[in-house]
Structure 1
Amino acid sequence: MKKITIYLLALLTIFSSSLLSAEKNNSDHQYNYFIGNFDFSDHKQAALLFGFQHQNESLERNTFIGKISPITGGFITENSAAYIYSGIEWNIDMGSLEFTPSFTPGLYHEGDGKDLGHVLEFKTEVQFSYVVSGDTSLGISYNHISNASLGDKNPGANSYMFNFLKTF
């Protein structure tokens, strides 16, 4: 029940702060606020996570596989594990839906959370978003974090998130 309450409070905070800015900004900066469950497949290590990601849409490049752009972000879990990253994502428009796979190498600190075996970890993610308005989308995403056997162990972590994307 505690996790559900935290989910609802975080989503309410995100929605209320963004709805207060009713005026459309002509900015190319997209922010992705997300909340989810870190390492949900390991019941002993599962933890609530909060995260933030930035994408500068003016750096997007059109390619044969869609729009590619750099992203930077991070998250922290309720167990004080943290991950900061920078990488690329592909934005594939499908009408009012958008499919966004990404790859981001980053630095991981286990805190009181799961030991992933190395400080350098790689995150692969897929996200589906629904465009609510010209500058707002809601989405769901899944990622896997792994060190590609750079460390002595490589347990990996699977996570899912609920995303609120807003261009400011």
Structure 2
Amino acid sequence: MPSPTQRALARVPDRLRPLLVQHRKLVKFLMVGGFCFLLTMAVNFGLKLTVLQAKPVVSLTIATTLATVVSYVLNRQWSFRTNGRQREAILFFVVSALAVLVNDAPLIVSRYVFDLREPDVSHLGQEVADFLSGMIVGTLLAMVFRYWAMKRWVFVAGTRPAPAGEPEPERV
């Protein structure tokens, strides 16, 4: 019986399939990241529009932290399941804590260095600046940092046997 990944690959055009297989960890990482981005956005706006209206950085930090926990579980169970070390959870959360700071930095700069907040700009201008700086720029910077750091220090190839039916992991 084919795995969900194999069933999904069967629907991909033949000429793209080898590229996706070759970069399967990156594809899985990006899929997890996309889901966690949507989760972050929903929690961030839920908090920002209710109990944390005056604290956008706290709202983004809480949303990003929650998505980080979900990301760990999904990446551990799916994206990097053939890799890892015994101390990976600690390393994951250290890297992720740094990534939360990377994610928050553009929002902090937008709000408190460039003063893109009320009353200096309209409410709409503030919300657009918050979204672009925190959710788009911050997420992209943090994603690049996370992928590099996770592959380098957390989910290191060749330290765990491959599950039955999976190809052996590539050696770094």
TM-score (ref. length: structure 1): 0.29
Higher strand residue share? 1
Structure number, greater radius of gyration: 2
TM-score (ref. length: structure 2): 0.28
